[in-house]
Amino acid sequence: MPESVLVLIVAVVAAAVGAVLGYAARRLWAASRVKHAESYAERIIAEARAKQKEIVLEGKDSVLQQQRASEDEAREKRTDLQRQERLLLDRSESLDRKLEALERREAAAEERLTELENERGQIGELRQQQLTALERVSGLSVIEARESLIQQIVDEAEAEAQHRVREIERRATEEGDERARRVLTTIMQRIAADHTSEATVTVVSLPSEEMKGRIIGREGRNIRALEQATGVDLIIDDTPEAVVLSGFDPVRREVARMALTKLISDGRIHPGRIEETVAKCRAEIEIVMRQAGEQAAYDAGVPGLHPELIKLLGRLKYRTSYGQNVLNHSIETAHLSSMLAAEIGANINESKKGGLLHDIGKAVDHEVEGPHALIGGDIAQRYGVSAVVCNAIAAHHQEVEQGSIEATVAGRPAADRRELPRRGALVRHPGRPRDSDPGPTRGDRRYRLQPAGARRGQEDRGAAPVPRADQGDRYSRDARGRLRQMTNRADAVRSLLIGDIIGKPGRTAVRHALPELRSELDIDLVVANGENVAAGMGLTPALAEELLEMGIDVITSGNHIWDKREIYAYLEGDRPVLRPLNYPGDSPGRGWLVHHLPDGGEVAVINLMGRVYMNQLDSPFAAADALFDQAAEPLPPVRLVDFHCEITSEKNAMGWYLDGRVSAVVGTHTHVPTADARVLPKGTAYISDLGMTGPRDSIIGFSVETVLPRFLRHLPTRLEVGEGPVMLNAVVVEADRTIGRANSIEQVQRLVEVD
């Protein structure tokens, strides 16, 4: 056999043997792997079973612990319930015992009452027996004996009283006359004042006669311009190097003197320069008068006067009466009055103030009809002077009755009459104002140009009539009406803004106090927040009409306006009741209106509501902007805003945001008056909250008994409006009706007793 075949056979056999051996080895390795996997699987299963047992045991332990805890808690609750049950049983037994004791006491009291009734009956019988015995012994009945005794006592008392009255009158007359002479002598020795006489005409010296022609001007245009600008007459006659200024108003005469002096010094005299110079002189005179008033108040020792009173007092610097400067006379009278008050025990401050202000009416009596005493009393009342001082001013010429000893001291009978007509006192001339010196006549030839039409302040009038005693009120009313046309408030609107009115007590207080406030404070417009009128929450149509009938002109509101559904349709009408402007546009009612005053003036009243801690409404700031920018017609200058808001910072922000755009921003809603009333730099009056018009002894208007549980136990309670005296909180805002700028804001508080 060939060798190659043998090799092939051996190779085939070897391959077969290798394959068999490989297969056998593969089988052995696979079996080993399977056995190893099975062993690993059995170990994992064993571990899982062990873990399962542990988890089951832990679950059983947890269940057992929870079961034990539940049993312990249930056991404690059962114990607590048993303890409470025992306490209730003990209390029940105690109440039963107390009830039995009360029943026994009641039975004993009834027995005692029966005994007392019996004893009272016996006493009455004994008393009647005694009276019968006394009547039998005395021969008089009980009534006759009582009348006899009373008559005897009355006769003796009358005789003794008459004797004592005569003795007291005799001693009082002797001592009073002597003391009065001693007091007056001492005071007049301590007060010595120099009196100077000032004429009602003023003479201005000229550097040369040529200046007269320059003052007259071409065709008299310069003199006409000067007379029209100053309101006085220029009399140019043949008096060498002099021009006479004639006018009833001393202030205008002084302005004319200053202006003419400056024009002569400057040399430029023409209508334009005249008007400019007169305006500057008028401003200087205002400063001089204010300084004179302040100095007079300081010299007299009367601090704290209203700035307008200071200004009017300064006007007296240029006023004379019976040859004496009225301002000096007023200071003298203040000193005399204070000394008299100190001697007789009267109020020194009130007497001194009355003496200083007694002739304040003379500052304006050439512009207002009526006696200067009544005019002065009305001015003082208008600027917040006390009633005692106002009476002293009005009564110092006996136009009204003196109501106090201070009025007697400060008035004409005690102090002012020390200025009885002195030597050289003037006689009143028909056709001239009283207390005026007659103008000089310097020959028949004089050059006098009259401007066309009546000259301001120069209407010729006779002496003011002196009213009878029964005419005082009428003259006071006439003066009050004309004073508004003369003072800085001639073009002013005075508005009373009343804080949230709370329930029936608030309505009652407003009904009682508002008429007096309107008269006393000279109010043109009354605005009140009425959202709490209906038992402390909401407003009804009937209550709204009730408020309007009381004299309230405009009613504002806030978030509680919707508490009474019947108000919805009412708001759609034309009555002056507002809801906040920044509610959605389709809400019932309106958020602002224009109120027409009786004298033809207009005031816009705007109602806004804040958003912090309140309803999420439109922005009140944006709502105000939209109103001012998009109103169909421009709003009147005087604009009052009721900002119904929770937090002070939002109210304060609104005040500054609207400063210079409205006349006043007043806060409502928190029911507590704040002490930050002021006029902001651009002329807006501001106060964070007006306060409420509601029971003083309450928690923001509601009874203490119904509010305290809410804070102590956090339990809901039915709120009830408080009772007792009502505090009316409000402010008076005075605003210039031409530019809308606020002149002042004054807080008003009145305690009103209600049934």
Looking at the annotation, which residues are catalytic? 560
Residues 328, 319: Cα–Cα separation, whole Å: 10
CB 734 within 8 A of CB 744: yes
Residues 278, 255: Cα–Cα separation, whole Å: 7
CB 293 within 8 A of CB 314: yes
Residues 683, 656: Cα–Cα separation, whole Å: 11
SS3 203: strand
CB 514 within 8 A of CB 681: no
The amino acid present at 251, given as its one-letter code, is: V
Helices then strands (H, E): number in the chain?
Answer: 19, 19
Strands (E), 468-551: 492-498, 500-501, 525-529
CA 54 vs. chain centroid, Å, equals 83
CB 309 within 8 A of CB 379: yes
Residues 93, 157: Cα–Cα separation, whole Å: 68
CB 513 within 8 A of CB 752: yes
Q: Which two tokens stand for residue 31?
A: 């079996």
How many other CB atoms are there within 10 angstroms of residue 337's CB atom? Answer: 31
How many other CB atoms are there within 10 angstroms of residue 1's CB atom? Answer: 6
| 429 phi, psi to nearest 5 deg | -105, 135
Which distant-in-sequence residues (6+ apart) come within 8 Å of 491 by Cβ?
736, 737, 738
The amino acid present at 495, given as its one-letter code, is: S
SS3 321: strand
* Strand pairing report for 685-687 and 664-668: parallel
CB 658 within 8 A of CB 666: no
* Strand pairing report for 233-237 and 692-695: unpaired
| Nearest CA among 696, 693, 686 for reference residue 730 | 693
Q: How far is CA 12 from CA 4, 22, 23, 26, 116, in A?
A: 12, 15, 16, 21, 152
Distance between the two ends of the chain, CA-based, in angstroms?
A: 154
Strands (E), 108-218: 201-205
Q: How many residues are given for the chain? A: 755
Residues 354, 331: Cα–Cα separation, whole Å: 11
Q: What is the DSSP string of 637-693?
A: S-EEEEEE-S-HHHHHHHHHHTBTTBSEEEEESS-S--S--EE-TTS-EEES---EE
Q: Which two tokens stand for residue 755?
A: 């049934």
| 143 phi, psi to nearest 5 deg | -65, -45
Q: How far is CA 349 from CA 116, 353, 371, 386, 642, in A?
A: 63, 6, 25, 11, 39
Q: Which two tokens stand for residue 191?
A: 């007060």
The amino acid present at 237, given as its one-letter code, is: D
The amino acid present at 579, given as its one-letter code, is: R
Q: Which two tokens stand for residue 293?
A: 């008033």
CA 6 vs. chain centroid, Å, equals 139
Place of tokens 């405009």: 554
| Nearest CA among 274, 256, 278, 257 for reference residue 214 | 274
CB 704 within 8 A of CB 698: yes
CB 241 within 8 A of CB 208: yes
